[in-house]
Chain A
Amino acid sequence: MRRILLVAVFLVLGYGLWVSPDLKEIAAGVALFLFGMISLENGFKSFMGGALETALRRSTDRLWKSIGFGIASTTLMQSSTLVSLVTISFVSAEMITLAAGIGIIMGANLGTTTGAWLIAGLGLRVDIAAYAMPMLIFGVILLLNRSRVLKGLGYLLMGIGFLFLGIHYMKEGFDAVQEGFDLAAYAVPGLPGLLLFTAIGMTVTVIMQSSHATLLVIITALAAGQVTYENALALAIGANLGSAFTTALGGLTANVGGKRLAVAHVLFNVMTAAVAVALIGQMAWAVDQISGWVGIAEDDFLLKLALFHTLFNLLGVVLLVPFVRPLERLLIRYVHFAPPPAEQPRFLFPESLKTPATAVTAVRNEVAHLYDNAHGLIAHGMSLRRRVIDSDASLSQAVRQTRRIMPLDVDDIYETKIKSLHSAIVGFIGEVHAREVSERWTEALYDLQQASRSIVEAVKATKHLHKNLSRYGISSSPPVREHYDGIRLQIARLLREIGELRTEEPGSVTILSLDSLKIGLERSSRERMDSINRMIRDRQIPPHIATSLMNDEAYAYEIGEKLIDASRVLLQSDEPGERIADERLALDDRDIERIAQGSKPAPGAAGETRP
Chain B
Amino acid sequence: MKTKKLLARLAQFMNKDRATQREELEHIREVLKKLKKKEQRLREKLDSEPDDEERRELEGKLEVVHAQRTKGLERVKAIRNSRRESAGDPAPES
Contact = CB atoms under 8 A, between A and B. Distances in A.
A587 B63 CA distance: 12
Interface in B1-48: 23-24, 26-28, 30-32, 34-36, 38
Contacts of B68: 512, 515, 585-587
A584 B26 CA distance: 13
B24 A509 contact: no
A519 B72 CA distance: 19
A396 interface: yes
A587 B61 contact: no
A322 B47 CA distance: 52
B60 A607 contact: no
Interface in B40-80: 53, 57, 60-61, 63-75, 77
A520 interface: yes
A274 B72 CA distance: 62
A508 B64 contact: no
Contact of B67 (A523, A580, A595): A595
Nearest to A514: B64
A578 B30 CA distance: 9
A581 interface: yes
B63 A595 contact: yes
Interface in A490-520: 507-509, 512-513, 515-516, 519-520
Contacts of B38: 509
A584 B66 CA distance: 14
Contacts, number: 83
A594 B24 CA distance: 27
A568 to B, nearest CB: 14
Contacts of A513: 61
Interface residues of B, number: 30
Contact of A508 (B34, B67, B71): B34
A512 B57 CA distance: 16
A508 B24 CA distance: 13
Contacts of B36: 611
B67 to A, nearest CB: 6
B75 A519 contact: no
Given A577-B23, A580-B24, A587 B64 contact: yes
Nearest to A523: B60
B57 to A, nearest CB: 7
Contact of B73 (A519, A581, A611): A611
B35 A516 contact: no
Interface string A422-442: 000000000000000000000
B72 A584 contact: yes
6 contacts: A509-B34, A577-B24, A585-B75, A606-B71, A607-B70, A611-B66
Interface of B: 23-24, 26-28, 30-32, 34-36, 38, 53, 57, 60-61, 63-75, 77
Interface of A: 396, 507-509, 512-513, 515-516, 519-520, 523, 577-578, 580-582, 584-587, 591, 595, 606-607, 609, 611
| Shortest beta-carbon contacts, A-B, top 3 | A611-B69, A516-B64, A581-B27
Given A508-B27, A577-B26, 18 more contacts: A396-B53, A509-B35, A509-B38, A512-B31, A512-B64, A513-B61, A515-B68, A516-B61, A519-B63, A519-B64, A581-B30, A582-B31, A587-B67, A587-B68, A595-B67, A607-B67, A607-B70, A611-B36
